Structure 1
Amino acid sequence: MGLRILDRYLAWAVIAGTLLTLGVLLPLLGFFVLANELEQVGVAGYRLQDALLFMVLSLPRYAYQVFPIATLIGALLGLGALANRSELVAMRAAGVSVGRIAGAGLLGGVLLAAGAMLIGEVVAPVAEQRGIEIKRAALSGAVTQQTESGFWAIDQGTYINIREILSGTSLRDIFIYQADNAAGTLIATHAQGARYQNHQWVLEGLSRSRVSMDGVQVERLPNAVWSSLLNPGILEVVVVDPRILPVWGLWKYIRFMTVNAQDASNYQVIFWGRVLYPLLTLSMVLVAIPVLLGSARSRGTGVRAFFAVLVGILYYLVSKTFSYLALLYGLSPLAAALAPPVLFIGAALLLLRRVG
């Protein structure tokens, strides 16, 4: 019973330290996001309250991105408080092994990793997509929505469905629906593609159907000019970076690229990094424990936080190095994503063995 209480006590120290760290980091990140959005406040209908809402809806993704380093800082701060009060020294003197302390810390890490995955794979994609829709609607003045069937918009009474946005200036598979109430007709236009040039859209490969009480008239045109409030600046906001999709959405995107003979190596590295995300969080907890046990009360909070930042920078450099190796030299994306956390876990285990 006593050991189980001790495990919960140590795990809670890691969790509380991480939550405290996030409570400091997220407002700072939110400030920078808002500062960036202020440049567009006043453009079209984009107001300060829209920028504030966009910032709030973006925070779950930023929380997910900084969670590993926040876990490292939190473990150092939470367990460091116990070291400052000589509680870790007392535990060691009472016969609690280094492995037991590490296991209890990892218990907190597992719970944190589960929470981070919930935020990153469930909450963040939905929240950020909603933020993008709000920003898009404010900047364009049109009612828009992103669905599984593509991008939908209402532009001056015209319903538009764009199945694929290649870039802000290049579209593919476009459907345009217009109702002429006076004439009692419905005009449905399908274009194979569209490109933006000379401040206007040029539709290519058109098939236009005019539906009325007299029947259906079909007209085919090689190209035609299309006037719309939707412009490349608005559509750039629409294009969702596949890296912020949930992991299952990213997997579908990779399969789509593979089927279409496109290089998906970069996204495969990101995908495996997301799958191995819990391992990264646990490696950060493992790194913190030998540092604390080795220093006991000899290092202050500022030194530990500085060490955590250095480890975070080192991890970023190592992970980027392996990503480039995968892209340039054909290294397996799984190996590139697995190598950094394995290296850090290996280093932490060696330090734990030395301290023990």
Structure 2
Amino acid sequence: MTILDRYLAGAVISGTLLTLGGLTPLMGIFLLSDELNTIGTARYGLGEAMLFTLLSLPRYLYQLFPIATLIGALFGLGTLASRSELVAMRAAGISVAQLVRSALLGGVLLALLAVVLGEWIAPIAEQRGLELRRVALSGEAAQHTPHGFWAIDDGAYVNIRAIQSGTQLVDIDIYRVDASAGTLEATHAKHAYYQNGRWLLTDIARSRVSKHGVQVEQIAEAEWNSLLDPDLLKVVVIDPQVLPVWGLYTYIRFMAVNQQDASAYEVAFWAKVLHPVLTLSMILIAIPLLLGSARTSGLGRRLLVGILVGLLYYLISRSFAYLALLFGLNALLASVAAPVLFISAALWWLRRVG
């Protein structure tokens, strides 16, 4: 890596980190304001809301990372352009391709940072935050594990492998032990539905173990006298954006085996897989924005254009995601469409500038 490479890569990295530093408190204020209506409910006070906000921040910063990279590259490299350093580099024989390569070296490090944030830090922090919020709001003991959602329900241990909504559950196991009678009852139901104020289990297999032996029975459907609150379960529905790539892949396979619609998780999976590419593409977009107006536009104007381009990208990418969910489009194509469109436009613009 040459001195020029380090200089330009450092400008991109420092600009992005400064941008993230400015966005973090702003995002924290927005997230905390969303919790104001909930503060005071049960044991959910201001301290719990602030801790939940803090634990939620990594996920939102991960989602904003590409846009922050675009703004940061415009800020870092734009500072060089405002001092005519980019013009001097071009006059010294540095090609546009060399400038792009040096800036992308910084982008690679930023993409790695985003992967660490999105695959390790954010999922762990978000799940702990949701657990804290859930316990404070409901007072019920419940926990998410790799094997589903666990809860204690009126003395019974309940495991739910998938929560499609607060009122629709998949693969439910209920274990009840009666120590005085020396019996163990294990119930498995393929589905559970909350209707008319009560839970209904379907496709039930029930085993009862006692000193007299094992009794097994199959039941088409039965009422479930459970204390589980549908509003609590709505809180713990697995948000695709919370899961890491490997967790999404596992969950998609589980949903496929159970013949459930996993399109939302497929879209989130490919979006996370393509996230590093998206981060790098933002730098490709920033370079022509800078070179195309290096002498005629101030830094503030270029930053404004960058913010608008970032918002445009976000709107287009979300539109493709919603179209995939509404019309059953291929999740990979829906996730690739926006990056390909913007990268193609950036490369075309780079050719014109070069």
Asked if the contact 1:13–1:78 (Cα under 8 Å) also holds between the matched residues in 2, the reply is: yes
Q: 1:46 and 1:311, CA in 2 relative to 1: closer, same or farther beyond 3 A?
A: same
* Aligned partners of 1:76 and 1:304 also within 8 Å: yes
Show the counterpart of 2:271. Answer: 273
* AA in 2 matched with 1:150: G
Corresponding residue number in structure 2 for 1:81: 79
> Within 5 A, what are the aligned runs for 1:1-356?
4-204=2-202, 209-212=207-210, 216=214, 225-262=223-260, 264-323=262-321, 332-356=330-354
- Identical amino acids, percent of aligned pairs: 64
How many residues end up aligned between the 2 structures?
Answer: 354
Shift of 1:8: 0.6
Unmatched tracts of structure 2, length 5 or more: none
Moved more, 323-332 or 39-48: 323-332
What's the secondary structure of 2:2's corresponding residue? Answer: helix
Rounded Cα–Cα distance in structure 2 between residues aligned with 1:308 and 1:50:
36
Secondary structure of 2:74 counterpart: helix
CA deviation string 1:182-241 (max 9, x = no partner): 555444444444332343334445555554556556677665554444211000111102
CA contact (8 A) 1:26 1:62 kept: no
2-structure distance, mates of 1:332, 1:195: 29
Is this contact kept in 1: 2:156–2:176, CA < 8 A?
yes
Distance 2:169 2:9 in 1: 51
| Contact 1:83/1:296, CA 8 A, preserved across alignment | yes
User: Is the alpha carbon distance of 1:19 and 1:180 closer, same or farther for their aligned partners in structure 2, counting shifts above 3 Å?
Assistant: same
Whole-Å separation in 2 of the counterparts to 1:328 and 1:305:
34
Partner letter of residue 145 of structure 1?
Answer: Q
How far is 1:312 from its partner?
1.3
**In 2: Cα distance, 1:345 partner to 1:260 partner:** 38
SS state at 2:238 partner: coil
TM-fit CA distance, 1:10: 0.7
Secondary structure of residue in 1 paired with 2:292 = helix
Question: SS at the partner of 1:336?
Answer: helix
Q: What SS does the aligned partner of 1:295 have? A: coil
Seen in structure 2, the aligned counterparts of structure 1 residues 189 and 290 have a Cα distance that, compared at 3 Å, is closer
Q: Residues 17 and 75 of structure 1 are in contact (CA less than 8 Å); yes or no, is this contact kept in structure 2?
A: yes
Quick one: structure 1 residues 324 and 9, their matched pair in 2 at CA, closer, same or farther if it must change by over 3 Å? Answer: same
The aligned amino acid for 1:146 is: H
Q: Distance between the aligned counterparts of 1:121 and 1:68, measured in 2?
A: 15
RMSD over equivalenced CA pairs, Å: 2.8
Contact conserved, 2:59 with 2:123, CA < 8 A, in 1? yes
Change (3 A) 1:208 1:349: closer
CA deviations 1:258-297 (Å, max 9, x no partner) are 4455555554444333222222111111111122123225
Letter paired with 1:142: E
**Equivalent pair of 1:71/1:284 in contact (CA under 8 Å):** yes
Q: CA deviation at 1:311?
A: 0.7
The secondary structure found in structure 1 opposite 2:37 is coil
SS of 1:244's partner is: coil
Is 2:70–2:283's contact at 8 Å kept on the other side of the alignment? yes
Cα distance, 1:77 vs structure 2: 0.5
Alpha-carbon distance in structure 2 between the residues aligned to 1:193 and 1:318: 36
| Residues 150, 160 of structure 2: 8 Å contact kept | yes
The two structures have a TM-score, normalised by structure 1, of 0.87
Change in Cα spacing, 1:144 to 1:267, as seen in structure 2 (3 Å) is: closer
- What TM-score do you get using the length of structure 2 for normalisation? 0.88
- Residue 62 of structure 1: how far off its partner (Å): 0.5
